Amino acid sequence: MSDAPASLHAYGSHPSQYAELYLPERRSRPGVAVIIHGGFWRQAYGAEYGRPLAADLARRGWVAWNLEYRRTAGGAGGWPETFTDVAAGIDLLHPVLREAGLDSGPVVAIGHSAGAHLGLWAAGRHLLPSGVPGALRRPCLDGVVAQSGALDLALADELNLSNGAVRELLGLDPGRDDGRWKWADPMQRLPLGVPVVAIHGDNDGDVPLSVSESYARAAAAAGDRIELLRISGDHYGVITVGNAAWELCVRALAGLAAAGGVATDTPGTGGGAAADGILEHCPKNRGEDGSC
């Protein structure tokens, strides 16, 4: 099958407000993967980083939704634009699938680096107060695979990742916060109530493993029972098709999708340590039509 997307769908008028739909050749499929690329939320990095992953997942029978969004550093993104774009892009998925005559099945986000942060943020939109950008009544994701994720924004800022990328995203220092630091940080809305598998290399020079570990500890303490898989490798192995780390991500996706909102030990990994808090149950809360 072709590595090109089956179709492109705009959710706004800006050139970065679109998603690419990849369809499998066979109708039987494990679910839908929402791919959210990384790049420290900056314009220099775009949806091209998600295309090889989307194509590979489609070859394996997945429907893949490769999401682009407005970014910082000249890309018209930041708070709240980057966040509302991710929300709108995910919300467009179900109407597109219905129009194509497809039922979505389980929908799992897989995000890398900054994209992992955005995936967790999207999974927790139902926890945002009414009126906050992106707020939603119920979860619209059945799980999240976080690849080398910038999951703890406060720690990422403290570590000054990529020379101030977090403050560039939010546009304010924490001391002048108008609420956006709390609303943008998944750490501030625990328990999430959506199963998460975090996969992070022990030699990551871009987003240290400690950032995922910090989130996992807080999520477990809140009762979320996250699974954290510490692996050998750097920041990019998890998004390199054919790499063992990528295969682990695919198995994590399949495990979350097969459970349909109940996290189980990731197939082929031997499970996670109990201290990492394996999530045993998460009820599905989507509307009857599958929409958000």
Residue 34 lies inside a defined structural domain of this protein: yes
Residue 52 lies inside a defined structural domain of this protein: yes
Residue 40 lies inside a defined structural domain of this protein: yes
Residue 187 lies inside a defined structural domain of this protein: yes
Residue 213: CB partners within 8 Å, gap ≥ 6? 200, 228
* Whether the Cβ atoms of residue 109 and residue 122 lie closer than 8 Å to each other: yes
Residue 290 lies inside a defined structural domain of this protein: no
> What confidence score (pLDDT) does residue 4 get?
81
> How does pLDDT run along the chain (292 residues), one tens digit per residue?
567 888 999 999 999 999 999 999 876 668 999 999 999 999 999 999 999 999 999 999 999 999 999 999 999 999 999 999 999 999 999 999 999 888 878 999 999 999 999 999 999 999 999 999 999 999 989 999 999 999 999 999 999 999 999 999 999 888 788 899 999 999 999 999 999 999 999 999 999 999 999 999 999 999 997 999 999 999 999 999 999 999 999 999 999 998 874 444 443 333 333 333 433 222 233 343 333 3
The total number of structural domains that make up the chain:
1
> What confidence score (pLDDT) does residue 28 get?
62
Residue 83 lies inside a defined structural domain of this protein: yes
pLDDT, tens digit, for every residue of 263-272? 444 433 333 3
The pair of structure tokens assigned to 245 is: 């780390």
Task: Give the Cα separation of 66 and 51 in Å (integer).
Answer: 7
Task: Give the Cα separation of 9 and 174 in Å (integer).
Answer: 36
Residue 132 CA, distance from chain mean position:
20
Residue 1 lies inside a defined structural domain of this protein: no
> What confidence score (pLDDT) does residue 226 get?
94
Residue 2 lies inside a defined structural domain of this protein: no
**Residue 198: domain span:** 7-276
pTM over 0.85? The answer is yes
CATH of the domain at 237: 3.40.50.1820
Residue 136: CB partners within 8 Å, gap ≥ 6? 87, 125, 126, 128, 292
